[in-house]
Structures are given as C-alpha cells and as structure tokens.
Amino acid sequence: MTSKDRPLPVVIWGASGHALVVIDILRLMDGFEPVGLLDDVTPERRGELVDGVPVLGGREQLPQLLAAGIRHIIMGFGNCAARLRLGRTVGAQGFTLATAIHPRSVVASSVVIGPGTVVAAGAVINPLARIGSNVIINTGASVDHESVVEDGAHVCPGVRLAGRVVVGEAAWVGIGSTVHDRVRIGRGALIGAGSVVIRDIPDYAVAYGCPARVARMQPPMEQ
C-alpha cells in the first residue's frame, strides 16, 4: 500500500454511544481511520479506550492535532446545536469535516450530502433528497424523494420522512416518528419519540403525539 492509498486519520469529537456508531462506520468505509476521540464533558476519561480508540482530551488538543498532520474531524454526539457550533469551530481552525456513510445504507445517486454528515446502517435516502452538513440520518431511518434535511438536524433511528418533507436546521425528529409528505418541521424543533406529524411544526417547538401537537416552545439555540 502506498502512502497515497493509506486511510486518512480522523478524530471523532465525542466519546459516548453515538461515537461508537461513528467509529464502526469509519472502519467499514474505505478512506478513513479513527485515531482518537475528543471529550470536553468528562476530562477524566483522557487515555481511556472506546472500542479501541483513545480519548485524547478536549478541545485543547486541536493545535496538536493540526501539528501532527490530522486534518479531518467528525462529530460523534447527538446535540444538534452543539454539532453546528463545534463544526464552525474546527472549520475556523483549519480542519475539514469528514462524512461517514455506512456501506449498508442505501443512498440514491441523485442525493446531495453535506460534509460532516453521518448516515447509519440500514438508512435509506431516496432520489433528489438533499441532506445538509453535520446531519445524522440514524439507524434504519428513511428519507423519501425530494425531502430536505437542513444542517445539524438529527433524524433518529426508525424515523420515516415521506416525500418533500423539510426538516429545519438543528431540528430533532425522535425515534420511530413518521412525518407526512410536504410537512415542514421548523428550525430547532423537537419531535417526541413515536409521533405522527401531519401538519407543519413551527421553529423551536416541542411537539409529540399522534397526531403531533405543539406542547411548548423552547428558547432559540445559541449561535
């Protein structure tokens, strides 16, 4: 194997459950090798191995990573607003967001997927869908034709988005939910697990149920 053919080292920001999923996807792909994890939340975990990948420390490690020639980072946690915020942080410091697409997902050839996005096992993304940057399309979720999932959104395991749905920036669609065709879920909205969404949901709303109804509003996310 020549140096040109060697997988690119990538660091995962996050060291909990979703990071395990990202590690597995990267190992199954051609082109990336997970070499470390960053964890600002529990600094005492420095040196711990997570599925064989060491926790390097927190964000104070970024200059050393660049000096070591590591240029790729991917987010390995679920908080939507924080993924967007930290994506901007690492981009400003000279890193590139890696994209992880599980080889046993199904992605139509006309789909556009932004940098930093994770597409997990069993996910299906159908023709002319557009997926933004730093998105999670989680295990077994489906995104149907011409739907748009904006930057930082999280489509949780088992979610079903019908055709021409729009999921706004940093919105969260809870596990097992179903969204009717042409429905828009607003920016920063949160859809509770198992909901059936048949009407538009406003920005920053918390909605759940069958059919989903707005229960309360939450503060706009930090920029």
Residue pLDDT, tens place only, 117-129: 999 999 999 999 9
Backbone angles phi, psi at 120, to 5 degrees: -90, 175
Would strands 212-217 and 205-209 be described as parallel, antiparallel, or unpaired? antiparallel
pLDDT digits (tens, 9 = 90+) for 147-190: 999 999 999 999 999 999 999 999 999 999 999 999 999 999 99
Together in a domain, 146 and 91: no
- Is 1 within the bounds of a domain? no
pLDDT recorded at residue 2? 40
pLDDT digits (tens, 9 = 90+) for 3-49: 456 889 999 999 989 999 999 999 999 889 999 999 998 889 999 99
Together in a domain, 140 and 191: yes
Residue 96 has pLDDT above 80, yes or no: yes
- Is 51 within the bounds of a domain? yes
Among 98, 122, 149, identify where a domain stops: 98
Active-site residue (options: 18, 72, 102, 145): 145
**Percent above pLDDT 70 for the chain:** 97
Together in a domain, 162 and 205: yes
At a CB cut-off of 8 Å and minimum separation 6, what does 152 contact?
80, 81, 83, 84, 87, 132, 133, 134, 135, 169, 170
Q: Is 145 one of the annotated active-site residues of the chain?
A: yes
pLDDT recorded at residue 43? 86
Q: Could you give the number of structural domains in the chain?
A: 2
Together in a domain, 124 and 202: yes
**Can you give the residue range of the structural domain that contains 189?**
101-217
Residue 178 to residue 101: CA distance in whole angstroms: 22
- Is 14 within the bounds of a domain? yes
pLDDT digits (tens, 9 = 90+) for 44-79: 999 999 999 999 999 999 999 999 999 999 999 999
Whole-prediction pTM: 0.94
Among 70, 98, 126, identify where a domain stops: 98
Residue 1 has pLDDT above 70, yes or no: no
Together in a domain, 186 and 211: yes
Domain CATH code at residue 90: 3.40.50.20
